[in-house]
Structure 1
């Protein structure tokens, strides 16, 4: 399969609809209309001269010669120029082989018109010299006027053609973008040069022609020549200014509109590069920036599937190394686990087990987030959550206890998976100093929490089995709740990893404000 066929298949799979032969033919014809439209500008100027100078006798010859040069010869020249573009649009060559021609299309087309304009007007203005004033019906021009007229009209026709074809290039690039998904990546034009040429044509050119007339002629001839120049300048500059403004301002307007949408959070923007200058390059960089933002958003969303989304967002906001530096803060740690999960796993098919476990973890996750907690790690059938680290959480001890009660209520009132499995949850909560930060090596980093408070919460979760409870909290957690809940002391126990006994408490459902904890059962 050819590269072009592969690209077409890829475009179709990405939602881009390939252009039909009729659409390709239409966009190709439009180029020839635009590139030869300079003839109508020439016709306007010739008509103005005929009206003012009363040279209607040779008007058909003058117009016919202009048509021969600016339509006929010009068509032959631009046909060869456009051939690579036509081949690309027909799927015969890849985009990389035509991109340079696309970028230079306005300049190359205008250069050909520039040369043809010189020939056209040099022949017209010199006809009184080789055909005689009577035969040509054209007054003999002064040498300065001959040179100035040729020069001004060459620049005018060049500028008109350049910006008309630039406007066409904008349409062509949009067409290619929509049907091929490709954008210009080469930029040979210069926005400054375009402005300079436009300024010369609009202001300096007509003024120069009028000044030459003032110094070259006198009396009625002078008035006639100045009137011709002024009328021609009004028509030529008006038409050229229209295409100049479209060519220079439309890409900026498109870019501005896209930036406005992005500022409102719409990252789906990708716009065609429609100019061959710095504005086109800026548009390309805008597309790259949006792709980077979309990639960042995908990373954040993907990261948030493995690390709590709030932690992922905090890490991505950090500049520099993109990690969370170590810090110590008072926080509350919550560990949860499913009672008898090993036995359950032995009797459930793996696919059913995973479905049920995912539903369970989603149920447990909701109360933790609702009360300001962050799930740091899923550990098999359990999870490890923190309150006030890394995200601030006022009253973190009470928030953790409320989350634990809501977890018990949510889990105890439903079944999970297609098999309707019931899960009993054990929770351990501890409050105290916690060290948090990004740890790891090389490209493998993980946000984690360290310290005695973390270890104690894990041990309390395990002790639920020994005491027949569902929620156990440490003395530090109980004291930080400031009497919001009623706790039942269970004495002191020696916790693995600690030399001193630790006072532990369960929650008394009857004394808890607004909460109805599930019935405790023996483990």
Structure 2
């Protein structure tokens, strides 16, 4: 199983340390006081009340903000401890999942008490005489109503702010390493119900406040020095402020995860599978991100398998085997007959070299020898099927279409000889190889037992090519080709390749004779 590490560096907009994240959350929670400050400022401006109550309001507001900041430190403690390596990461994820709820509940309770205290203190009373006319039960109902309204707005802000901070904390947790990524069962939230709840509150609460201010609590508003027009303006300003804050946080909750997903999918499309998107939430977008990351990991594993497998068989065959295994290619394709040119190469004097050189030098020599052959075969459009001891089995026009494959195979054979002639190997050794080439129909398939399989090529053309290569030793040649291969070459190719007819020969194990040609006539072993 190949693990994928999350990106080691967070976004440039994200705090980089546990302390910075903790401070950000504290400030956001204390920021509920700024919501109250907006409401209070709007009221003072609309009502035209002077500076008399400001000192008391400032003190009450400072206490409210301090209480929220202190509670934020306690609520965020498990997350900070996990980021600092002092607590389990899983505990931190559980806390982050509940952080918006806990934050909203805390701020609602403290906000209710704070608003009730401020209203009961008479800070917003414009006319004491009119206040005395109102009954105690009416004033109690009004106090409870306005405390509830303020606390609801505070809680809505706190839940969105906590969710915003939780998103950054998730990024920081995931950056700790692969084992710190969230697990599926830790992403059990739902985005749509949360948004519906917020939208319902913003859609229902503002008009309800206006209706209540103009009907049931109109006498209290007059006590506060507000006319009907003032009440409407004040309530609209409060609605715009609360709605604006909610819109900003809601947009961030959706837009950033979607942006990260888009970037991750773009990386996958470009073949960059090791850079998954950070999971920023516990909702549907978080789960979708996790699935995309798992898909990226699976694609990376497959690519690694394909690449490593391609070091033992050709990449083309590796792709075909993997596609068959994944049911991406029809089974019949594995047995499809193709007109293919087969090339066999066998190293001359291998036994003598193995006797002269130490094993480590022999390994170095053979690797370089095989590399020369592989590079040359590929440069001419062919592929290596297997290395059999010191022999090489290659083909042209098998896995992929290769126009002019017969001429390409013969050109590759001559190019191999030229490169080997110019090369000097370990200890100044020279290396020579004998090559046989034949063209005919072949098929390939994975064969073997349930425990051990081999991808082999079948057809008489394979045996003929191997036997032709062996004839080089008897004929004193370096490259031989069958008449079928020569006939598949164009007239210009036949002239360029320097062909010399050697007549008919009878190959061991075959009844019918074949005609063979020396390729690159004049080059003797």
Task: Provide the TM-score with structure 2 as the length reference.
Answer: 0.86
**Which of 140, 148, 163 is matched with 1:166 structurally?**
163
Partner deviation per Cα, 1:476-520 (whole Å, 9 max, x = no partner): 11222244324323233332221233322212537xxxxxxxx31
| Contact preservation (8 Å) 1:428, 1:473 | yes
Quick one: distance in 2 between partners of 1:441 and 1:49? 85
Which residue does 1:269 correspond to in 2? 275
Alignment of 1:460-499 (within 5 A): 460-483=468-491, 484-485=493-494, 486-499=498-511
Residue 520 (1) aligns with residue 524 (2): yes
1:14 and 1:72, CA in 2 relative to 1: closer, same or farther beyond 3 A?
Answer: closer
Which residue does 2:182 correspond to in 1? 184
Mean CA deviation greater in 463-472 or 484-493 = 484-493
Quick one: distance in 2 between partners of 1:297 and 1:238? 47
**Which of 20, 32, 38 is matched with 1:26 structurally?**
20
Superposition deviation, residue 138 in structure 1:
11
**Which of 312, 315, 327 is matched with 1:320 structurally?**
327
Residue aligned with 1:376, SS: strand
| Contact preservation (8 Å) 2:27, 2:69 | no
Residue 303 (1) aligns with residue 309 (2): yes
Residue 381 (1) aligns with residue 390 (2): yes
| Contact preservation (8 Å) 2:113, 2:147 | no
1:212 and 1:143, CA in 2 relative to 1: closer, same or farther beyond 3 A?
Answer: farther
CA RMSD in angstroms, aligned pairs only: 3.2
Residue aligned with 2:508, SS: coil
Superposition deviation, residue 234 in structure 1:
2.0
**Which of 393, 406, 410 is matched with 2:415 structurally?**
406
**Which of 374, 379, 387 is matched with 1:365 structurally?**
374
1:145 and 1:498, CA in 2 relative to 1: closer, same or farther beyond 3 A?
Answer: farther
**Which of 312, 333, 349 is matched with 2:342 structurally?**
333
Quick one: distance in 1 between partners of 2:171 and 2:382? 49
Which residue does 2:46 correspond to in 1? 52
Residue aligned with 1:57, SS: coil
Mean CA deviation greater in 84-93 or 34-43 = 84-93
User: Where does structure 1 lack aligned partners over 5 or more consecutive residues?
Assistant: 1-9, 511-518
Superposition deviation, residue 208 in structure 1:
2.2
| Contact preservation (8 Å) 1:50, 1:59 | no
Quick one: distance in 1 between partners of 2:270 and 2:84? 39
| Contact preservation (8 Å) 1:121, 1:150 | yes
Superposition deviation, residue 50 in structure 1:
2.7
Superposition deviation, residue 115 in structure 1:
2.1
| Contact preservation (8 Å) 2:25, 2:72 | no
Residue aligned with 1:306, SS: coil
1:455 and 1:401, CA in 2 relative to 1: closer, same or farther beyond 3 A?
Answer: same
Partner deviation per Cα, 1:179-219 (whole Å, 9 max, x = no partner): 45533331232110232133234433222212222333388
Partner deviation per Cα, 1:31-56 (whole Å, 9 max, x = no partner): 21122211111122122223323455
| Contact preservation (8 Å) 1:152, 1:206 | no
| Contact preservation (8 Å) 1:468, 1:520 | yes
Superposition deviation, residue 164 in structure 1:
1.1
Partner deviation per Cα, 1:382-423 (whole Å, 9 max, x = no partner): 110111112222222212111111111111111224x23211
1:362 and 1:138, CA in 2 relative to 1: closer, same or farther beyond 3 A?
Answer: farther
Residue aligned with 1:509, SS: coil
Quick one: distance in 1 between partners of 2:142 and 2:232? 11
Alignment of 1:411-426 (within 5 A): 411-417=420-426, 419-426=427-434
**Paired residues, what number?**
498
Superposition deviation, residue 300 in structure 1:
1.5
| Contact preservation (8 Å) 1:374, 1:391 | no
Quick one: distance in 2 between partners of 1:487 and 1:179? 66
Residue 231 (1) aligns with residue 237 (2): yes
Task: Provide the TM-score with structure 1 as the length reference.
Answer: 0.86
**Which of 345, 351, 356 is matched with 2:360 structurally?**
351
Residue aligned with 1:439, SS: strand
Between 1 and 2, higher relative CO (CA 8 Å, sep ≥ 6) is seen in 2
1:461 and 1:146, CA in 2 relative to 1: closer, same or farther beyond 3 A?
Answer: same
1:482 and 1:321, CA in 2 relative to 1: closer, same or farther beyond 3 A?
Answer: closer
Quick one: distance in 2 between partners of 1:471 and 1:136? 116
1:136 and 1:35, CA in 2 relative to 1: closer, same or farther beyond 3 A?
Answer: farther
Superposition deviation, residue 106 in structure 1:
2.0
User: Where does structure 2 lack aligned partners over 5 or more consecutive residues?
Assistant: 11-15
Residue aligned with 2:509, SS: coil
Mean CA deviation greater in 36-45 or 166-175 = 166-175
| Contact preservation (8 Å) 1:58, 1:136 | no
